[in-house]
Chain A
Amino acid sequence: MRFITSIAAALVEAWGELRVSRLRVMLSLIGVAVAVAALTAVTALGAVAEQSQREQQERYQGRPALLTFMPSDSTGMKSPDPSLTTTAFQDAADRYGIDWTSRVLQDSGSVELPRGVTEMPIMAVDPDYGTMHRIAVREGRWFDADDADRFAPAVIVSTDLWKELGSPDLRTHPHFELSGTSPSTAVVIGVTGETCDGQCLSMTMLYDDFVKTGFTRIDDGPGAYIPQPSYEAWVPPSTAKKLMPRIASAMSLALGDGWQINPSRMDYAAQLGGYDPYLPLKLAVGGIAGLVLLLGALGLVNISLVTVRYRVREIGIRRSFGATAGRVFFGVMMESVVATVVAGLIGVAIAVAVLKNPTVIGFITSSVQDVPPFPISAALIGLGSSAAVGALAGLVPALVAVRVKPIDAIRL
Chain B
Amino acid sequence: MTLLRLEQVTRTVELPDAEPLHILRGVDLEVEVGDHVSIVGRSGSGKSTLLNLLGLLDEPTSGRLVFDDVPLERMRSGQRDRRRGRDVGFIFQQFNLLPGRSAIENVVTPLLYAPPAQFWRRRRLAADMLDRVGLGGRLDALPTQLSGGEQQRVAIARALVRGPRLILADEPTGALDVETGERVMALLDQVAEDSGAALITITHDRNVAALARRHYRLDAGVLTPTDADVAVGATVPVGTSAAAAPSPVAPAWPAASSPPVAMPSAFPGERL
Contact = CB atoms under 8 A, between A and B. Distances in A.
Interface of A: 1-2, 4-5, 8-10, 12-13, 16, 20-21, 313-314, 317-327, 406-407, 410-411
Interface string B106-133: 0001101111100110000000000000
A191 to B, nearest CB: 61
Max chain A Cβ within 10 angstroms of own Cβ: one of B81, B82, B98, B109: B81
A407 B57 contact: yes
B87 to A, nearest CB: 9
A319 B86 CA distance: 12
Nearest to A2: B116
Contact of B48 (A1, A2, A411): A411
A5 B115 CA distance: 8
A2 B120 CA distance: 11
A310 to B, nearest CB: 9
Given A317-B98, A321-B113, A322-B84, A410 B92 contact: yes
B35 interface: no
Nearest to B92: A410
Contacts of A317: 96, 98, 109
A320 B101 contact: no
B100 interface: yes
B96 A13 contact: no
Nearest to B85: A322
17 contacts: A4-B116, A5-B115, A8-B119, A9-B112, A9-B119, A16-B105, A20-B101, A313-B96, A318-B109, A322-B84, A322-B85, A323-B113, A324-B78, A324-B81, A324-B82, A325-B77, A407-B57
Contacts of B113: 9, 318, 321-324, 327
Interface of B: 48, 52, 55, 57-58, 77-78, 81-82, 84-86, 90, 92, 96, 98-101, 105, 109-110, 112-116, 119-120, 158, 162
A329 to B, nearest CB: 12
Given A5-B116, A5-B120, A407-B52, A320 B98 contact: no
Given A313-B96, A321-B113, 14 more contacts: A5-B119, A9-B112, A317-B96, A317-B109, A320-B55, A321-B109, A322-B110, A322-B113, A322-B162, A323-B112, A324-B77, A324-B113, A327-B113, A410-B57
A10 B57 CA distance: 22
Given A318-B109, A321-B85, A321-B90, A2 B115 contact: yes
B66 to A, nearest CB: 20
A40 B99 CA distance: 37
A1 B116 contact: yes
A299 to B, nearest CB: 23
Contacts of A13: 112
Contacts of A21: 100
Nearest to B113: A322
A321 B157 CA distance: 12
A322 B101 contact: no
B78 A320 contact: no
Contacts of A12: 112
Contacts of A327: 81, 113
What 4 A-B pairs come out closest when comparing CB atoms?
Answer: A322-B85, A20-B100, A322-B113, A321-B110
A65 to B, nearest CB: 55
A411 B96 CA distance: 11
Contacts of A324: 77-78, 81-82, 113
A326 B158 CA distance: 22
Contacts of A326: 78
Contacts of B114: 322
A303 B109 CA distance: 24
A253 to B, nearest CB: 73
B84 to A, nearest CB: 5
Contacts of B120: 5
A4 B55 CA distance: 28
A321 B110 CA distance: 5
Contacts of A10: 112
Contacts of A322: 81-82, 84-86, 110, 113-114, 162
Contacts of A2: 115-116
A407 B51 CA distance: 10
A12 B114 CA distance: 13
B84 A320 contact: yes
Contacts of B116: 1-2, 4-5
Nearest to A21: B100
A319 B96 contact: no
B101 A16 contact: yes
A314 B98 contact: yes
A177 B95 CA distance: 96
Nearest to A318: B109
A319 B98 contact: no
B144 to A, nearest CB: 12
B236 to A, nearest CB: 20
A314 B92 CA distance: 13
Max chain B Cβ within 10 angstroms of own Cβ: one of A10, A320, A321: A321
A335 to B, nearest CB: 13
A407 B86 CA distance: 18
Contacts of B119: 5, 8-9
A371 B115 CA distance: 51
Nearest to A326: B78
Contact of A406 (B48, B57, B98): B57
A245 B119 CA distance: 69
B150 to A, nearest CB: 18
A321 B112 CA distance: 9
Contacts of B158: 321
B111 to A, nearest CB: 8
Contacts of B92: 410
A13 B112 CA distance: 7
A211 to B, nearest CB: 76
A59 B135 CA distance: 74
A318 B55 CA distance: 13
Contacts of B57: 319-320, 406-407, 410
Contacts of B85: 321-323
Nearest to B111: A9
B128 to A, nearest CB: 18
